[in-house]
Amino acid sequence: MNMSSVSKVLAAMAAMATMMAPALPARASDPGDEVPAQIVLRLLPGHDIADIINPERMVVRATFPPRSLYVVQALPGYDDDMDALVDQLRSDGRVSGCEKHLFNGVTEGSTQSFFVRVPPPPDYTDQPAARKLGLPQVHEYTTGAGVTVAVLDTGLSPHSYLAGHTVPGYDWLTGGPDTSDLADGIDQDGDGAADEMAGHGTFVAGVIHTTAPGAMLMPIRVLDSDGLGTSFALAAGIYHAIDHGARVINISLSSPEESFAVSEAVAEAISRGVVVVAAVGNEARGRSTYPAATTGVIGVAAIDLADRLLPTSDHGDHVSVCAPGQGILSVLPGEEHATATGTSFAAAFVSGITAMTVSKHPQWSPAAVRSGLMAQAVNIDALNPGFELELGAGRITAWSLKTGRRALNGAGMAPPSSGPK
């Protein structure tokens, strides 16, 4: 199939993939909570959702036809036993997967004061975290050119720092190409603070650009301005990134609950050569969070500039590597500049280094990229007593990109073509 035909197929798939769900309900919601009365299901090929649900009891609220993925909602009077509805759908031979629809989101900060506005810096790569990772020197060898990084977040608003480094994306909350990362004045998650995460996606994109200035950024909006999203939106966003040429996917959000829809999307991404990077949570817990804990994902925890685990960062055996996440400098909508702290930004650094790795070694599989990054990480166990088995391979570094494969061979290993989580 030639590139013209591929473009036509992708355009047709985008037109078919419709998001019909309304705005998220205004209620106190946290990642891992259930979206009221909603179920996500995937159909086996050749079946029609209209033949499976009773229209008097359930209605379709969202669809992604290219992957036969649906969100259905139980109507009032039929939503008192959602477990029974899930079991009923799971027992249907035409359904390949089914679960309650879940929230996911960003767990950093609680108000807009989370972002500390600062004057524009002369050089973003001169910030301490960038210097610690060796970015200024590594940019002499690779910048991530030729690689597109999908940023699944609150969107991305234009900023002069990012000009010329973005490609079209998609908004999976409302449906459409406008991925503006703006406040709307509505407290969608019902926590008493509106728009506490407006600008989060733009900030994350700025960190990735600082790290890999030659890479292109694809904004995919899967979170609202309060930092809340759903498992369906995240899965659809991952599929969108796959279908539109991303080689790296940055997911700076998490949930304590695993979703089959998201895990299947991640598995497809990895099988098609896309590296998935995800932040762990920011609740100082030693528990698994998803999709960071999903097989094959590069799960990222946050450390300070002295290589100590941030007090707010989650940790555990699902962590692949750590990266600086304290006082990180980046951009916000409206030509603003700010600092912020959290695992979201540690993941963004890792996504940028991953993009440079893929650019330098495009033939490497996602498993090889992950193993290579872990092999060159700096062990920081001695600086973090009590967390020795919960920081993955340690602090990621970009230094090995100067020598590439030779650095790995010099350490006594070659990049594998596959490997376990």
CA distance 278 to 304: 18
Burial of 168 (0-12, 13-18, 19+ CB in 10 A): exposed
CA distance 342 to 338: 13
Angle at CA 229, nearest 5°, toward 354 and 188?
140
Catalytic residues: 153, 200, 344
Is the separation of the CB atoms in 144 and 214 below 8 Å?
Answer: yes
CA distance 52 to 70: 12
The letter for the amino acid at 351 is S
Ramachandran area for residue 144 (φ above 0: left; ψ -120 to 50: alpha; else beta): left
Is the separation of the CB atoms in 247 and 73 below 8 Å?
Answer: no
For 265-301, letters b (16+ CB in 10 Å) and e give bbbebbeeebbbbbbbbbbeeeebbbbbbbebbbbbb
Q: What dihedral do alpha carbons 232, 238, 242, 245 form, nearest 10°?
A: 130
